[in-house]
Structure 1
């Protein structure tokens, strides 16, 4: 009978440990994924900003040397990521591919203009910067028109600000929830051993002596949970990196390493602090209060 009871208690203890580890791992994993989002949010926003194109339309009378000089200056400009010359013939082919019809069959000639598509660096994709760049280029007499989607730029910048604010708010809330959830799991684990704690105290064991094995056990569970969470984060990061190659998510190695270390230490810190507080609470309770 005693053997069966011991086995039952052992299974119950192992089940309790597994549930604590799973809780810690899931919470830290979600918190880590949110941290990855925060770290790479600017890079993702910059990626979309750099898809905005400023198109410079050229007069038919523009000389080749003028066009080449302009293209070269645009490529070397601080605000330019790249500049691509598009002839009117190439533009016609692109339009034909998009619409599926050859509009020149109806018009009888090619009304399009030679142009240069300028892909701007993310820091310059604002209404003010684009206006300044446009004004600086418009004084050239062989440039007919400069176009860019100003409404899209304003909408994109507004959305980036809103999303960044909400990501920070959600990160703060989720960190608080993570601490509370892990604390709750640890407290339940310690609660199941409250009578053992009080028995040890009654036979003369010091609070520090009683607390030490509980804290060390919880820290070990925190380490295991944190390692599982880090493995999950590494898998997610690797998958996103090979799926969205253009974002180059693994470039921020220092920040990513800091996040991984932070998640690992957070798992240890929360479990240590939660166990310390929980054991201290039961150590300060009277014997008759353990039943409530």
Structure 2
């Protein structure tokens, strides 16, 4: 009978430990994923900004030497990420593929112009800076026109500021929730052993002696939960890097290692602190208060 009861208690204890580990792992995993998003938010925003194209349309009378000099100047400019020369023939082929018909058959000539597509670096993608660039380039006589999507640039920069603000707010809120959830799981685990704590105290055990095995076990559970969370984060990071290689999520390994180390340390610190506070609370309770 006693053996059966002991097995029941052991299964109950293991079940309690598993639930705590799962809770810690899930919370740390979500916190880690949020950290990945926060650290890569600028990189993602920069990626979309660098899709903005400043198109320089050239006069048909532009000399090859002038065009080559312009290309070299653009490549050496601080604001240029890369450039692409699009001839009027290539532009006609692109329009033909997009529209599914050859418009030159109706017109009898090619009305398009040779152009240079300039992809700007993210830090230079603002309306004021691009306007300054277009004003400077428009002084060239062989440049017919310069165009970019002003509304898109304005909305993009405006939305990036809003998203950055709310990401920081949500990160702070989620961190608080993570601490509270882990603390709640640990407190429930310690609560189930409150009578053992009080019994040990009544037979003369010191508070530090009673607290030590609880803290040690909780830290162990925290380490296990953190390892599971980090493994899941590694899978997510690998998948995202394979799916969106242009974002170069693993380009800064030190940042990733720092985030993983931070999540691991957070798992240990929160479980240690939560167990310390929970055991201290039950140690300070009177015997009749344990039933409430």
| Secondary structure, aligned partner of 1:60 | coil
TM-score by length of 2: 0.99
Distance 2:72 2:49 in 1: 23
Quote the residue 2:115 is aligned against.
115
Distance 1:83 1:272 in 2: 55
Quote the residue 1:269 is aligned against.
269
| Secondary structure, aligned partner of 1:116 | strand
Counterparts of 1:1-292 in structure 2, within 5 Å, are 1-292=1-292
TM-score by length of 1: 0.99
| Secondary structure, aligned partner of 2:220 | helix
Count of residue pairs the alignment pairs up: 292
1:166 Cα deviation (Å)?
1.1
1:138 Cα deviation (Å)?
0.6
| Secondary structure, aligned partner of 2:123 | helix
Structure 2 unmatched runs, 5+: none
1:76 Cα deviation (Å)?
1.3
Distance 1:43 1:70 in 2: 29
| Secondary structure, aligned partner of 2:81 | strand
1:75 Cα deviation (Å)?
1.2
Distance 2:108 2:220 in 1: 79
1:255 Cα deviation (Å)?
1.2
Distance 1:251 1:165 in 2: 25
Distance 1:128 1:10 in 2: 69
User: Pairwise CA RMSD of aligned residues?
Assistant: 0.5
Cα-to-partner distance string for 1:140-180 (whole Å, 9 max, x where unaligned):
11101000000000011111111111111111111000000
Quick check: 76-85 or 219-228, which moved more?
76-85
| Secondary structure, aligned partner of 1:83 | strand
